[in-house]
Structure 1
């Protein structure tokens, strides 16, 4: 279920039908720095000194060139303990993939051999990280498709993480990008988009009962949540995860970090994870070497030898031949 293609087109996050709607138009390409430039924390009262500053990560770096960077955001106006860690991902050098779990999303039409729940062996050599997908099928029946396998049909009103044949990633309501469906190699749907064209969802202020973005089984809304976003050029992807956060907190953090469009992924302690892979020594097998949030539930060789029951995304280094934007 490998969904890698070539890298994004010269317009950045261009979908097959045209450039990313937030990308600047014009014939001349705009340089995209990586790591991204520093950003202003959303609230001076709760910001920490390091907030808004991107720290290049060694994980996945080739020849000393960073392909991942991390920043922290404290998105709440008065609660300093609320935080979101954000990882920026250079899509010019890193490919995003989507894999179905062995059980989720539930589907009676896809046989077990089409859903092994593992990073393909051919991609493990260049594996950088794995992170969680979306809700279980019974929680909203949000659509998912990987290549020719449709596990659940897309919902018109659902936020959609779409992976294109040219390597681009788009995040938008399905009704806005449905026409591009034949040129997608994968899609995963979520509750309504947290951020669209730099604007927070109009219902996001309902922080007490954010039914659209769910809560813990006990009704608690300040929980661990995760999100995925993309910048205005479409060349930088953002994964965010934080503790004690509402949907609004995550949305505020993703927007502050530079996401013009963002979707909430899974929630709760057991299901949210961003795992970095490597080999502690050359003779060691591929395994999890660190996690974005220290207290993250995981299996050391999960996703590479131990199958995952739930869907997930993974990141791998692009080959040199695929690292240049398509023409």
Structure 2
């Protein structure tokens, strides 16, 4: 008889059993699986996971709604606006601040665009029905002028009289490769209409669409952007149109004011203008940056609290502004490398007695003029500055932000 084989040893710890040929899972991985199953069996863990699932679904829905909202805003602009609307403004500002520090505006150099409007605006050959207001050439802050720099050029006429003029110039003596544009609008020949945005000021019985739709384009000569979001605390003001108000019309706020006769002015609310029956629209934003023809020292102080947290006010970024002259013209200025000070200086040098900053950063600003030669009922939009981010037909489609449309009288 042979000697019997010893019995197989059996481990008292199943976790230490060697893997069978049919079970390729390593022991350590099996341990992790058991831990996970144990955690998932806990009521607290299941509740936390359920909350995360609900939050994730809400987040996808919320951001998806922002991306699908009407308007032609870019994906980046929509996400940034969504973040600001959900109390993440400091995060957006921090990211923009870091981007600015990594890519500040270039110092020196020469402009890469022509110092003349794009689109070859047609000069009127009709005998003027009204004597045009003579405009002096703007003095370049950058020193000796380049060809055409600061020279006014006709962008649109009404009955043969130049009504809309534009000039290009370098905004300061450091950022000499950048070009700002200034537009002059003669209110004797033009009328102004405030339009709401789909998202800002938002839905309401405004009586005016968030676009310039077909059928309302005859006589259209220009459009330009509005100000900060009305809901932003730093905007320091409200929005009023045809009896409906968003925010609060605030005394002391810089205000673009529209009246029944189609005219517009820039005012210190409560001092220069109030809500009379003659007022049809008010767009408030921050404080005046030109007052009594002078630039106040406040443009250099409290740059974040005074001029918005969307890239600090002292930085040279895309900015826009509007002002009124002593002879009643409305002036619009904008450009890619402007501080609050240099924007104010441009508006003051163009003759503004009062002026205000509008929106900032490339996603929000634009000025278009319109050429009616091919079809007066549907004039062709042209960017005043060819390097502005927004498309020329921006306001032919529903837009998220408020804007002003300018028509021939």
Q: Is the structural similarity TM-score above 0.5?
A: yes
Q: For 1:220 and 1:197, how far apart are their aligned partners in 2?
A: 23
| Equivalent residue for 1:297, pick from 375, 378, 389 | 389
SS at match of 1:275: strand
**Count of residues in Structure 1 that have an aligned counterpart in Structure 2:** 278
SS at match of 1:248: helix
Q: For 1:190 and 1:157, how far apart are their aligned partners in 2?
A: 10
Residue 320 (structure 2) pairs with residue 226 (structure 1): yes
Partner of residue 9, structure 1: none
Partner of residue 221, structure 2: 128
Residue 294 (structure 2) pairs with residue 203 (structure 1): no
Name the TM-score, length of structure 1 as normaliser. 0.75
Give the conservation status (yes or no) of the 8 Å contact 2:259–2:281: yes
Q: For 1:250 and 1:261, how far apart are their aligned partners in 2?
A: 13
Gap change, CA 1:219 and 1:239, over 3 Å in 2: closer
Q: For 1:55 and 1:299, how far apart are their aligned partners in 2?
A: 22
Residue 240 (structure 2) pairs with residue 145 (structure 1): yes
Q: For 1:149 and 1:315, how far apart are their aligned partners in 2?
A: 21
Residues 306-321 of structure 1 mapped to structure 2, 5 A cutoff: 306-318=397-409
Partner of residue 10, structure 2: none
SS at match of 2:297: coil
Q: For 1:204 and 1:146, how far apart are their aligned partners in 2?
A: 28
Give the conservation status (yes or no) of the 8 Å contact 1:39–1:53: yes
Residue 369 (structure 2) pairs with residue 276 (structure 1): yes
What displacement does 1:150 show? 1.3
CA-to-aligned-CA distance 1:130-170 (integer Å, 9 cap, x gap): 11011112323521111212122212131011112233322
What displacement does 1:46 show? 6.3
What displacement does 1:198 show? 0.5
What displacement does 1:69 show? 0.9
SS at match of 2:272: helix
| Equivalent residue for 1:85, pick from 158, 181, 194 | 181
SS at match of 1:181: coil
Q: For 1:115 and 1:79, how far apart are their aligned partners in 2?
A: 40
SS at match of 1:175: coil
Structure 2 gap segments, 5+ residues each: 1-129
CA-to-aligned-CA distance 1:109-139 (integer Å, 9 cap, x gap): x25x856312265531111121101111232
SS at match of 1:262: strand
Partner of residue 154, structure 1: 249
Name the TM-score, length of structure 2 as normaliser. 0.61
Partner of residue 165, structure 1: 260
CA-to-aligned-CA distance 1:209-252 (integer Å, 9 cap, x gap): 45422254488721111111111021x11111111110111000
**1 or 2, which has the higher helix percentage?**
2
**1 or 2, which has the higher strand percentage?**
1
Partner of residue 71, structure 1: 167
Q: Which is worse superposed, 38-47 or 117-126?
A: 38-47
| Equivalent residue for 1:45, pick from 139, 143, 148 | 143
Structure 1 gap segments, 5+ residues each: 1-31, 319-327
Partner of residue 244, structure 1: 337
